[in-house]
Amino acid sequence: MGNVLFKIAGFVQTADAEKITDNSGISRRTLPYGLIEEWSGDLNNGLVKIGEKTAIFHGLSSQECGLLTITRCYDYKDRMSILEIFEKAASAVSSFYYSTVIVRSLSTKQPVFCMGKSCALGSQNGSIAGVFIFPALS
């Protein structure tokens, strides 16, 4: 019948996530397989509030910055596409996601996934929010 390519693993208890909320109200969950941290942004002034760990991963000294600042550490091949995703999300209520790598050096890269949603566009309180996911590297 051929080789078995996939196998269902036995039940394993999943690890509990450590949930921490920082001073800015941004929460994160630290898991054995990575980190999930919330972020939010104001579409009226273009400022994004990220969590402490997200700022560290992105090489930023501040937890408040612009979208362009966040994307500067991404693989150069992905930057324009990611900025287009944010631009589209700012112009129409939508959900979005992307994945890329944060380039720390020529030999060190950190995968990053981002999921988010924009809402209340066209008003004075347009906002965007989501999570960054950083897989643990062995």
Q: How many CB atoms lie within 10 A of CB 128?
A: 23
CB 132 within 8 A of CB 36: yes
If you average pLDDT over residues 14-29, what whole number do you get? Answer: 54
Q: Give pLDDT, residue 92.
A: 86
In a domain? residue 105: yes
pTM of the model: 0.77
CA distance 65 to 20: 21
Number of domains in the chain: 1
> 107: domain range?
28-135
Structure tokens at 54: 């997200």
Average pLDDT, whole number, for the chain?
Answer: 82
CATH number at 55 reads 3.30.450.20
Q: Which residue has the higher pLDDT, 72 or 3?
A: 72
